[in-house]
Structure 1
């Protein structure tokens, strides 16, 4: 059975720690070894998906706030419940002063998920202030060579957070459960002779913003028995032209739902534009809507993969 899931070399990023709750511990963060002498007590996470990773490990009491949510998207009710006691320190990317004023000792972010290459907030700029940074694995492609993502990338982040905060057992139990669920999805797909052609439509009308080879949707689509038609675009998330989308004729379009333009409006745009009338997904009305927090690395990925698999091998949901 061809599953289209590869074991990621990034699984090796989870380094062995000393016995449970013993410090120091060292984890691999992109191309850095980061050592923690104690569990962080004043952590900050950026973006909804990274914040949900912290919540999945029940680390709210180790946090002083989060950043980068309301300036880009609406905070959904599930996440709102988990962080109701925590302030949003910055609506978009935080400045260095925002983190220092919060007396943060840990920042969980990624490249283009709260940090920009050469920007004001990076592991190097925060280091002198004793703010350790752990980088989202998917985002490492912006600063180093990296293989195509698999779901191991998200699992590695959860396991490394478990090591950093001394909750290894909880992290392992969580990841083991996700792996079991993922295995069931793959098994239920059966033998796949030809993967479903899929295009990820994030935003944009004149030019679409999409996920390329190195974005986590590629791993999710492959796990569900499909292929990202933009797999040859060597970016994680990027703007392209509509011509290759038309040429590659996706059978399913995954709509990323967030921001001022609704998923329904994005679907209506594609269905009403004559340029797209011969695309199989448009002709057959095969659209799948994933919320932003489902289409970026985080705890909701596995349920989203199950929905994708059902849509690819049946009717769109």
Structure 2
């Protein structure tokens, strides 16, 4: 069953529905961001964005003309943002150097992850940027109820919720004085989420495995734990994560995963090829040929599918993930 036509109609109705005028930003403005006070004397005119979730929020707020550079990409930009993105220089596909960022002469740098801009920033610390007169904003999705002190992916101490994404949209709309756009965007995302949830209201405790990657196909798999965006998707749709670790992406062996016997397996799709398991087709080949995994209920019933990895990161695309899993649950007869 395809719920996309209904969603398209919903999005159109949101865009056409009058939204109460939001209050304009009074500059100078001060906002607390991930433990640091951010003060802006005017709406930023030159911005570098690090991380695809941040790029796409700016494009959705129609702020592409403020962007002077992007970096840290997981895959292609969404089609509706392609034209705006084509006009923005790409500094790097992965983490850029500090020098390449400041050479774009931004007044504000946005970062999806503290791993890139933070105490142990791979690009630079917030202090380094401040020393050259550049403000920094970190996505609330990466610092709210999350411990990044150990570096890398960090560890969530409480589960992610979409409220963190809505906070980022709201704060960025205030920073750029486009509150009306931010309010409409959040309203549309909330309504899409609610429609997808309602479509599978009859589902009950559907066991699901979300597989992100593996260094080699027969090695432990990086799978979704109970505190990240995939867990949020599952919880909204009355599905149960077969992995009970509170780590965001724990490594788990296939003997253990096979015994959990999920009814559905979600495979991350991405353009990068750091690991053999980044390729979703290699995941499918392994599942269907391995003597252990091929006996799992989801594999026997061919109830596995590819979801873009961007939807598995805390972002607006997490709503895309909710919609896609809801559709698949209906297609598999698991929500009747």
Q: 2:33 matched to 1:29?
A: yes
User: Contact (CA 8 Å) 2:115, 2:148: kept in 1 or not?
Assistant: no
Describe the shift of the 1:77–1:26 C-alpha distance in structure 2 as closer, same or farther (beyond 3 A): same
Match of 1:40 in 2: 44
1:75 CA displacement: 5.5
- Larger mean CA deviation between 200-209 and 234-243 belongs to 234-243
Judged with a 3 Å threshold, the aligned counterparts in structure 2 of structure 1 residues 177 and 170 are, in CA distance, closer, same or farther, namely same
Shift of 1:68: 1.6
Q: RMSD value over aligned CA atoms?
A: 2.5
* 1:285 aligned residue: 302
Question: For 2:106 and 2:84, how far apart are their aligned partners in 1?
Answer: 19
Alpha-carbon distance, 1:153 to partner: 1.8
CA distances 1:8-58 after superposition (whole Å, capped 9, x unpaired): xxxxxxxxxx94131233334333343322221111112323211111111
Compute the displacement of 1:84 (Å). Answer: 0.6
Aligned to 1:8: none
**Which secondary structure does the structure 2 equivalent of 1:200 belong to?**
strand
- Give yes or no for the alignment of 1:208 onto 2:211: no
Distance 1:115 1:282 in 2: 41
Alpha-carbon separation, structure 2, partners of 1:228 and 1:146: 18
Whole-Å separation in 1 of the counterparts to 2:208 and 2:51? 26
Instruction: State how 1:1-317 maps to structure 2 within 5 Å.
Output: 19-69=23-73, 73=75, 78-111=80-113, 114-115=116-117, 118-120=120-122, 121-140=124-143, 141-143=146-148, 146-192=157-203, 194-204=204-214, 205=217, 206-230=219-243, 232-258=244-270, 259-260=272-273, 261-315=278-332
Conserved 8 A contact 1:294-1:300? yes
Q: How many residue pairs were aligned?
A: 295
Q: Deviations over 1:140-186 (max 9, x none)?
A: 22437642112212111111111111111110111011112222222
Alpha-carbon distance in structure 1 between the residues aligned to 2:309 and 2:80: 14
Aligned mates of 1:240, 1:36 — CA distance in 2: 45
TM-score (norm 1): 0.83
Q: Which runs of 5+ in 1 are unaligned?
A: 1-17
Decide whether the 8 Å contact of 1:251 with 1:281 is kept in 2. yes
Structure 1 CA distance, aligned partners of 2:250 and 2:206?
A: 22
- The 4+ residue runs of structure 1 with deviation greater than 3 A are 72-80, 112-117, 237-240
* Alpha-carbon distance between aligned partners in 1 of 2:45 and 2:138, rounded to the nearest angstrom: 18
Rounded Cα–Cα distance in structure 1 between residues aligned with 2:256 and 2:137: 36
CA distance in 2, matches of 1:203, 1:153: 25
SS in structure 2 at match of 1:147? coil
Instruction: Report which stretch shifted further, 95-104 or 300-309.
Output: 300-309
Q: Label 1:265 to 1:99 Cα distance change in 2 as closer, same or farther (>3 A).
A: same
The TM-score, its normalising length taken from structure 2, stands at 0.79
282 and 298 in structure 1: CA distance in 2 versus 1, 3 angstrom threshold: same
**Which moves more between the two structures, 197-206 or 242-251?**
242-251
Query: Is the CA contact (8 Å cut-off) linking 2:51 and 2:113 kept in structure 1?
Result: no
Kindly name which structure, 1 or 2, has the bigger radius of gyration based on alpha carbons.
2
**Separation in structure 2 between the aligned mates of residue 45 and residue 211 of structure 1, nearest angstrom:** 26
